[in-house]
């Protein structure tokens, strides 16, 4: 069984993410997604996720290409993960081209072309910044 791993935040899941996961799975038989948890995501200098870790995990687990979702808590866990899960292929989008070549001594490293026309940043911008999540809808003004 050829085991593939990839890492990411996958917030506001969109077809660019799905496209990456589909192609990653095509490189093997079993796809592990290491999902940035909320605390680590804050250190990645990303805006607060719209969806929390458990919600983002449930989204990924519903995708046919994904076999296992585990938490990413640090930049430095990749070598450990590769050994622990007997990973054969490490995959990332090519916005990370070269950044993980140090893993080549442990497994195959593949950078796949990003889906350039979509991004979470673009989605937020298109929504006009009204991006804050309303947790108690009763707090909002009734739409007229
Ligand atoms: N991606 C893509 N096309 C897009 C957007 C994202 O192919 N339009 C890919 C990225 O290249 C990445 C994966 O989808 O491989 C997840 O993207 P993010 O959620 O933005 O993850 P990132 O912030 O790159 O976190 O330790 C590595 C980090 O956790 C990677």
Asked whether 118 lines ligand 1 (CB < 6 A), one says yes
Q: Where are the alpha helices (DSSP H) in the chain?
A: 15-25, 38-43, 53-61, 78-84, 120-126
Q: Which atom of ligand 1 is nearest to the CA of 92?
A: 15
* pLDDT tens by residue, 21-56: 999 999 999 999 999 999 999 998 667 899 999 999
C-alpha to C-alpha distances, 103 to 2, 110, 113, nearest whole angstrom: 17, 10, 19
Q: Are 85 and 79 in contact (CB under 8 A)?
A: no
Tokens 């995708």 sit at which residue?
A: 63
The answer for residues whose C-beta is within 8 angstroms of residue 52's C-beta and 6 or more apart is: 38
Mean pLDDT of the chain: 91
92 burial class (0-12, 13-18, 19+ CB within 10 angstroms)?
A: buried
How many CA atoms are closer than 13 Å to the CA of 76, on its beta-carbon side?
A: 0
The reported pLDDT for the residue numbered 120 is 87
Strands (E), the chain: 3-8, 30-36, 68-72, 89-93, 108-112
φ, ψ at 82 (rounded to 5°): -60, -40
> Is 46 an active-site residue?
yes
Q: Which residue has the higher pLDDT, 133 or 141?
A: 133
Does residue 92 line the site of ligand 1, with CB under 6 A?
yes
CA of 94 to the centre of ligand 1 (A): 9
Q: 51: part of which helix (H) or strand (E)? A: none
Active-site residue, selected from the candidate residues 2, 22, 25, 44:
44
Q: 44 catalytic, yes or no?
A: yes
| Cβ contact 57:23 at 8 Å | no
Q: Whose CA is nearest to atom 4 of ligand 1?
A: 16
- Which tops the pLDDT comparison, 14 or 133? 14
Q: Residue of the nearest CA to atom 22 in ligand 1?
A: 8
Q: How far is the CA of 105 from the centre of ligand 1 (A)?
A: 23
């Amino acid at each position: 069984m050829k085991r593939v791993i990839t890492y990411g935040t996958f917030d506001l899941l969109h077809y660019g993410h799905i496209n990456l996961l589909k192609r990653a799975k095509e490189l093997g038989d079993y796809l592990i997604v290491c999902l940035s948890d909320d605390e680590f995501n804050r250190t990645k200098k990303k805006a607060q996720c719209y969806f929390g870790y458990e919600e983002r995990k449930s989204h990924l687990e519903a995708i046919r290409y994904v076999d296992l979702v585990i938490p990413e808590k640090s930049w430095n866990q990749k070598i450990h993960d590769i050994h622990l899960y007997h990973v054969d292929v490490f995959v990332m989008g090519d916005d990370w081209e070269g950044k993980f070549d140090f893993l080549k001594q442990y497994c195959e490293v593949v950078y796949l072309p990003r889906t350039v026309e979509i991004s979470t940043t673009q989605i937020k911008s298109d929504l006009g910044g009204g991006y804050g999540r309303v947790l108690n809808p009763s707090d909002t003004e009734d739409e007229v």
